[in-house]
Amino acid sequence: MRIDVVTIFPEYLDALRLSLIGRAREQELLDLQVHDLRDFTHDRHRTVDDTPYGGGPGMVMRPEPWGEALDHVQAAGRTALAGVSGEDATPHLLVPSPSGVPFTQQLARELAAEPWLAFACGRYEGIDERVLDDAAQRWRVTPVSLGDYVLNGGEVAVLAVVEAVARLLPGVIGNAQSLVEESHEDGLLEYPVYTKPASWRGLDVPAVLLSGHHGAIARWRRDERVRRTARRRPDLAAALDDAALDDADRRVLADQQADPGSARFLPEPPAVAD
Ligand code: JF5
C-alpha cells in the first residue's frame, strides 16, 4: 500500500517509523511518504493560512499550497505505483476533521483493501473547502472523524488511522488470529485479560481462568464481553444483531440492562441541565 501525508508538521509522523509500522515500511509492505505543505508555498514567509471570509475567529488554510501539494502527491504516487495499479491510479483522500464521518474498524478494513491513500492534515479552523471540492473532481475524498472532540490538527488522527489500517495489511501482524479475536470485529467489546501473579495487591484472577475448563472459560469470557458492552457502550449493545446472540448472551444482556450495578470504571453520568 502507498500512503501520502501532507502536513505542516512532518515530524509528527516520525512515530510511524517505530515498531510494527516501521517494520512494515522496512519490508516494503507499506510505502509511506510525508510531504511538508510549506514546500508548496512561494512567499518568503511560507504562509499557509489567511483570515476567514465572512469573519469569525482563527485562520483558514489557503487553497493554493494545498492544490500544488496534492498535484505533487498525484504525480509522485503515480510514478511509485507504475505497473501496480495502472496509468490512471488516484489516491483515496482522507481528511481528518471533527466534522467527518466516524472512523470505525469497518472503515479501517475497507481502507486496508485500497492500493493508495492520501491524508490532508488541517490546522487552525480547517482547510478552504474548495481544496476538497477540487480534489473530489478527480479523487475519492472522505472527511473522517476519530470522535466527538477537537484536536489541534489532523496529524494525531492520521497516526491513529494509519496504524489501524496498516496493521490489517497482509504480513504486518504475524499472528492473523489476533486480528480476528479483537474488539469491534463482531460488535462486542473484548473480555478482561489477566497474567501472573494469580494474586496481586489482594486482587485475585477470576478462579475460572485457573480451572483448566476450556468450555467454562470461553463462556465466562463471552459473558464478560456482553456485560462490558452493555455497561460501557449501550449504543453498541442496542445495535447487536439478535441472530448473533445465543440464549446465554441474551440472559446476560437482559440482566445487565436491568441492573447496571457497579459499572466499575464508569464515571457518574453528567448532570442534565433542565
Ligand atoms: C482538525 C480542523 C482538522 O480535530 C480533529 C478531529 C477530531 N476528531 N477527529 C479528527 O481533526 C483535526 C482540527 C481542526 C481540521
> For residue range 104-152, what is the model confidence (pLDDT) as tens digits?
999 999 999 999 999 999 998 999 999 999 999 999 999 999 999 999 9
Mean pLDDT of 35-46: 98
Residue 204 Cα to ligand 1 middle (Å): 42
What distance in angstroms lies between residue 223's CA and the mean position of ligand 1's atoms? 36
Cα distance between residue 119 and residue 158, in whole Å: 7
- Model confidence at 224, pLDDT cuts 50, 70, 90, reads very high
Interval 20-43 mean pLDDT: 97
Protein residue whose Cα sits closest to atom 7 of ligand 1: 98
Tens digit of each residue's pLDDT (9 = 90 or more) over 150-178: 999 999 999 999 999 999 999 998 777 77
Task: Tell how far the Cα of 1 is from the centroid of ligand 1, in angstroms.
Answer: 24
pLDDT band at 259 (very low <50, low <70, confident <90, very high): confident
Ligand 1 centre to CA of 150 (Å) is 6
Residues in contact with ligand 1 by the CB-under-6-Å rule are 96-98, 122, 126, 145-147, 149-151, 153-154, 157
The proportion of the chain whose per-residue pLDDT surpasses 90, expressed as a percent, equals 84
Does 181 score more than 80 pLDDT? no
Strand, helix or coil at 265? coil
pLDDT band at 98 (very low <50, low <70, confident <90, very high): very high
Question: 123, 151, 156, 159: which to mutate for ligand 1, most atoms within 8 A of CB?
Answer: 151
pLDDT at residue 271 tops 70: no
What's the mean pLDDT in 237-250?
A: 93
CA–centroid distance, residue 131 to ligand 1 (Å): 16
Atom of ligand 1 minimally distant from the CA of 121: 3
Interhelix angle 105-112/155-166, nearest 10 degrees: 70
Ligand 1 centroid–CA 96 distance in Å is 5
Burial degree of 38 (CB within 10 A; 0-12, 13-18, 19+): middle
Average pLDDT, the chain: 93
**Which of 97, 131, 132, 159 for mutating ligand 1's site (highest number of atoms within 8 Å of CB)?**
97
pLDDT band at 179 (very low <50, low <70, confident <90, very high): confident
Contact by Cβ (8 Å): 81, 89:
yes
Ligand 1 atom with minimal separation from the 149 CA? 7
Ligand 1 atom showing the smallest separation from residue 154 Cα: 12
Is the pLDDT at 32 greater than 80, yes or no?
A: yes
Query: CA angle at residue 187 from 103 to 240, to 5 degrees?
Result: 120
Ligand 1 centre to CA of 138 (Å) is 24
What pLDDT is recorded for position 195?
A: 98
Mean per-residue pLDDT for 226-237? 96
Atom of ligand 1 lying closest to residue 148 CA = 8
**Dist CA 121 CA 211 (whole Å):** 51
Q: What is the pLDDT of residue 8?
A: 98
Q: Which of 10-14, 23-27, 88-92, 265-269 has the lowest average pLDDT?
A: 265-269
Kindly give the distance from the C-alpha atom of residue 61 to the centroid of ligand 1, in angstroms, as a whole number.
13
